[in-house]
Amino acid sequence: MFKFLPYVFKGLWRHGMRTFLTAGGAAVALFVFCFVASVQEGLNRLTDGGDADRTLIVFQENRFCPTSSRLPEDYARTIREVPGVRDVMPVQVWTNNCRASLDIVVFNGADPQQLRENRGLTLTSGDWSAFENRRDAAVVGASLARRRGLSAGDTFSIGDLSVQVAGVFTSPVAAEENVAFTSLEFLQYTRGLDSAGLVTMHEAYLTPEADPDTVARGIDDALRAGPVATTTRRKGAFQASTLSDLVDLIGFAHWLGFACVGLVLALVATTTVMAVQDRVKEHAVLQTLGVRPGRVFGLVVCESLLICLIGGVIGTAAATAVLAFGGLAVGAEGVTIAFRPSLSLAATAAGVSAGVGLFAGVIPAWHAARTNIVAALNAA
List CB contacts of 295: < 8 A, sequence separation 6 or more: 1, 4, 286
Residue 331 pLDDT > 80: no
Report the alpha-carbon distance of residue 212 to residue 217 in Å, rounded: 9
pLDDT at 197: 85
Cα–Cα distances in angstroms (integers) from residue 236 to residues 40, 57, 146, 179, 374, in the given order: 15, 9, 26, 17, 67
Residue 46 pLDDT > 80: no
Report the alpha-carbon distance of residue 217 to residue 35 in Å, rounded: 39
Enumerate the H helices of 194-292 as residue ranges. 212-222, 235-242, 244-278, 280-288
Contact 212, 56 (CB under 8 A): yes
Report the alpha-carbon distance of residue 124 to residue 101 in Å, rounded: 27
Residue 166 pLDDT > 90: yes
Report the alpha-carbon distance of residue 174 to residue 180 in Å, rounded: 13
**Domain boundaries, given as residue ranges, for the chain:** 2-46+245-378, 63-228
The residue that leads in pLDDT, 86 or 51, is: 86
Residue 84's pLDDT band (cuts 50, 70, 90): very high
Mean pLDDT value of segment 314-334: 82
Range with the poorest average pLDDT among 1-10, 127-136, 191-200, 308-317: 1-10
Residue 378's pLDDT band (cuts 50, 70, 90): low
pLDDT at 171: 86
pLDDT at 245: 66
Residue 253 pLDDT > 80: no
Residue 380 pLDDT > 70: no
Mean pLDDT value of segment 228-234: 90
Percent of the chain exceeding pLDDT 70 equals 83
Mean pLDDT value of segment 145-157: 89
Report the alpha-carbon distance of residue 250 to residue 145 in Å, rounded: 25
3-state class (DSSP) for residue 140? strand
Residue 76 pLDDT > 60: yes
pLDDT at 318: 93
pLDDT at 68: 77
Rounded to the nearest integer, the mean pLDDT of the chain is 82
Q: What's the predicted TM-score (pTM) here?
A: 0.75
pLDDT at 376: 54
Residue 221 pLDDT > 90: yes
Mean pLDDT value of segment 49-68: 78
3-state class (DSSP) for residue 321? helix
Report the alpha-carbon distance of residue 161 to residue 336 in Å, rounded: 20
Mean pLDDT value of segment 305-313: 88
List CB contacts of 194: < 8 A, sequence separation 6 or more: none
pLDDT at 370: 73
Contact 192, 94 (CB under 8 A): no
Residue 293 pLDDT > 90: no
Report the alpha-carbon distance of residue 262 to residue 10 in Å, rounded: 27
